Chain A
Amino acid sequence: MFGRGLKPLSLLTAALMTGAFALVFFYAPNDADQGFIQKIFYLHVPLAIVSLCGFVAGGVFGIRFLQTGDRLHDLRSYVCIHLSLILAVGALVTGSIWARAAWGHWWVWDEPTLVSFLIVFLLYACYQPLRFSIEDSERQARYAAVFSIIAGAFVPLNFMAVRAAQSLAHPRVLSTTGGNMPGSMFFTFLVSLAGMTCLFVTLWKYELASKHAGMQLRALRRRLLAGDDDGWVPAARRSAAPQL
């Protein structure tokens, strides 16, 4: 079900990621101001953009779940947010490494872009504990959907607020003028972004397929044990992951 198209998507992701890294190190010129350290940008910015888009996608699937009641949308939302959190960790760590090299500090607290991203990350870090704290799977799915929608709406609002604020030191990558990048850098950035997006979608489908297979298996076991003479059926294990 979820595994359909996974093979060509994986191949496309591998090709795009390899191509992106080749472009980063063999095609894109060194930045005149930052030098070689700017190569981190091709990893850090796509990680941040894709993770934020993933959070918003989680909210969209949350809306779909509340509209239809289909638990598969809850599963899609859960996996979107789970993967976005992993990419957000990557964005935070790579950003810190860049900041150490460019600014001489691992973290700068008076920089709106950094702090706002950390707030979004910490907000979504509450998602799994929220799910785990609710035992009833129906309520768990409903509350998680509401959380994902509210937090998902916060992401673009937060982005706009940060753009409106006067940035102190964080470089602006995307703007109406193309981010002040030469064509070769912008092309490399776009390939990196496409690669990261494909990686997200591939891992999303991969995890969905794995979780769905696990759920089907548990359902099968319950049915099999229910057909046994003793009639004993194991209780569903408490989990933050959705139960179908």
Chain B
Amino acid sequence: MPALPLDEAGKYVAAAYLVFLALILVYVAIMASKLTRIERDLTELNEQLTRRDDERAEEPVAQ
């Protein structure tokens, strides 16, 4: 096949590079959501630990 003119070839080249960009962006978005989940779990864990420490502090010390 003869080489495509620039205006037609440009669409294919742009499509290929956009596919690559989209793949990377989707990957980063998924990783970002996982990072958010880790952060939320960490906060939850920290709160749990604080609550437990508070409960232990309120318990009367055995004589």
Contacts and interface: CB of A to CB of B under 8 A. Distances in A.
A220 B45 contact: yes
B12 A101 contact: yes
A229 to B, nearest CB: 10
Contacts of B13: 36-37, 39-40
A203 B3 contact: no
Contact of B16 (A33, A40, A210): A40
A217 B38 CA distance: 8
Q: Is the interface of A mostly helix, strand, loop or mixed?
A: helix
Interface in B8-55: 8-10, 12-13, 15-17, 19-20, 23-24, 27, 31, 34-35, 37-38, 41-42, 45, 48-49, 52
B6 to A, nearest CB: 5
B61 interface: no
Interface in A214-241: 214, 217, 220-221, 224, 228
Interface string A88-107: 01100110011011111000
A207 B12 contact: no
Contacts, number: 79
Contacts of B15: 97
A214 B9 contact: no
Given A33-B3, A36-B4, A224-B45, A47 B20 contact: yes
A35 B6 contact: yes
Contacts of A90: 19-20, 23
A43 interface: yes
B20 to A, nearest CB: 6
Contact of B1 (A43, A104, A214, A224): A104
Contacts of A159: none
A177 interface: no
A213 interface: yes
A101 B13 CA distance: 9
A94 B20 contact: yes
Contact of B9 (A44, A94, A101, A206): A101
Contacts of B12: 37, 40, 97-98, 100-101
A135 B56 CA distance: 38
Nearest to A35: B3
A224 B48 contact: yes
List 7 tightest A-B contacts by C-beta distance, closest first.
Answer: A35-B3, A36-B9, A101-B12, A37-B9, A94-B16, A40-B16, A97-B16
7 contacts: A43-B20, A86-B23, A100-B12, A101-B9, A203-B27, A214-B37, A217-B42
Interface of A: 21, 31, 33-37, 39-40, 43-44, 47, 86, 89-90, 93-94, 97-98, 100-104, 199, 203, 206-207, 210, 213-214, 217, 220-221, 224, 228
